[in-house]
Amino acid sequence: MRPRHTRGRGTLTAAAATLVTFCAAQTLAAAPSAFAAPAPDPAAARAAHAHSATASAVTSAQDRAARAIARSLGDASWNTRLRTAALTSHEVPVTRRADGALKSQLAAADRQIAQAKGLDAKTGPLLQLRLGDPSMRAALAAGTAPWVAAAVSDDDATTVTAYDSRGRAHRLDARTTPAHPVYVVDVDSSKALAAGMDVLRKELVKDGVRSAAPVAVNTAHTAVTPKTAATAGYWTTKITAVELSDDEEPWIKGAAEIYTLVSGFGQDGKVRVDPVDMPYLDYDGTVYKPNQILVNWSNYKYNLADAVMMEEDGSTNYRDLAKAIATALLTITDQGTYVPLVNAILDAIPDDWWTDDPDYVDSWYTLAQSNQGTYYGARGNGWMTVEPYFVEQF
């Protein structure tokens, strides 16, 4: 995770209940079913069990890494090097900086995390270390011996366990930033998400769902209108500005890692899901201007598509997520008219994703190519400005 400023990665909890839409009538019709609890079924039970197992494996690996790092701080030279790195960098790739037995222990934890999240072995080290809060810098710089804690994924956690170099555990209040400096061991979610998007696309295709690689962020603006568009190219919907609202979160949380699943019927009449990584959308209360393409309309049969915004979480297994989504969507066939797919995607998400870890952030129904302007969330948790954008062919 990136360093936390005003919002931890789970501070979108309030937004998780928000239904943003570009068509008010469609929202009123679709919202109740979007939030209805999915009916129990064996597939959902298996997905929930897998999600719980992933969360347990990742948490266990992070905790072991935190204990190992804490014990390693008894080495004065390493302690000094790590302190310098933590004071001069927001994120420290701790596995790469370690050596000897500690490096081996952290490398083992990295492998367990990658495997638990369904990521390829080539993903590389995922563990990173950061200072729990900027207010701890002065004490750390003054030589106070830091404690080490594993980041928690539960937004409702009330306590955090930190370890010192003697292996002793210290119970800390999750809501009140401690004065004592604390190193937080976390998963590099930017790296995990990028790798996860690749796995998700590959697994969706393997399971029979069409999926395309994302278009890069910061697309250069070209003033092209429907009347002047060249024949060679395609229309898209571009996000020009977006902001999410503020909420209070545990100090140990890092920044959010957001992605969106855009879904609809492809040109062949079969369902498709196009993951869109949103690596810039870190903190609430900040207006981002990404100029990012959200929907590539050349991929879709109808002039309507849906989007489900999600948050990368330590307990996300991308292979399991892809399989659950594919299982739900492949039962839906093209009836010659647009059919919303948001509900099917939400129903595929295990029940526990709606509770402790708010992996689900928001939904957009009936996005259309002509949408242009600023659209607010139903509960005021955020807004985005979109516009049609024509991508010309060279």
Tell me the range of 31-35, 43-47, 48-52, 98-102 where mean pLDDT is highest: 98-102
Average pLDDT over residues 19-35: 37
- As beta bridge partners, residue 275 has 261
Report the percentage of the chain scoring pLDDT > 90: 45
Average pLDDT over residues 157-186: 94
Q: Is the dihedral of CA 165, 170, 175, 179 positive or negative?
A: negative
Q: Is the pLDDT of residue 238 over 80?
A: yes
Average per-residue pLDDT for the chain = 80
- As beta bridge partners, residue 128 has 186
Q: What is the model's pLDDT at position 12?
A: 41
Q: Is the pLDDT of residue 221 over 60?
A: no
> What are the tens digits of pLDDT across the range 58-107?
999 999 999 999 999 999 999 999 999 999 999 999 999 999 999 999 99
Q: What count of residues does the chain have?
A: 394
Q: What is the model's pLDDT at position 242?
A: 87
Tell me the range of 150-154, 290-294, 315-319 where mean pLDDT is highest: 290-294
Q: What is the model's pLDDT at position 316?
A: 79
| Helix ranges, 73-180 (H) | 76-88, 94-97, 100-116, 137-141
Residue found by looking up tokens 């992070």 in the block: 62
Dihedral angle over CA of 388, 340, 361, 316, nearest 10: -110
> What are the tens digits of pLDDT across the range 305-364?
888 888 776 777 888 888 888 988 888 888 888 888 888 888 877 665 554 454 677 777
The CA R_g of the chain, rounded to the nearest whole Å, is 22
| 3-class secondary structure, 321 | helix
More confident residue, 51 or 167: 167
Q: Is the pLDDT of residue 138 over 50?
A: yes
Phi-psi region of 366 (alpha: psi -120 to 50; beta: other; left: phi over 0): left
More confident residue, 38 or 160: 160
Q: Where are the beta strands (DSSP E) in the chain?
A: 19-21, 127-131, 147-150, 159-163, 169-173, 182-187, 233-244, 258-265, 271-278, 292-296, 305-311, 360-367, 373-376, 382-392
Residue found by looking up tokens 């739900």 in the block: 328
Distance from C-alpha of 131 to C-alpha of 384, rounded to nearest angstrom: 32
> What are the tens digits of pLDDT across the range 159-170?
999 999 999 999
Distance from C-alpha of 385 to C-alpha of 238, rounded to nearest angstrom: 8
Q: What is the model's pLDDT at position 249?
A: 59
Cβ-in-10-Å burial (0-12, 13-18, 19+) of 393 comes to exposed
Q: Is the pLDDT of residue 3 over 60?
A: no
DSSP 353: G
- As beta bridge partners, residue 271 has 265
Q: What is the model's pLDDT at position 109?
A: 96
What's the token pair of residue 359? 């992996």
Q: What is the model's pLDDT at position 315?
A: 72
CA-closest candidate to residue 316, choices 364, 259, 273, 249: 259
Q: What is the model's pLDDT at position 244?
A: 75
Report the percentage of the chain scoring pLDDT > 70: 76
Return phi, psi of residue 118, to 5°: 75, 25
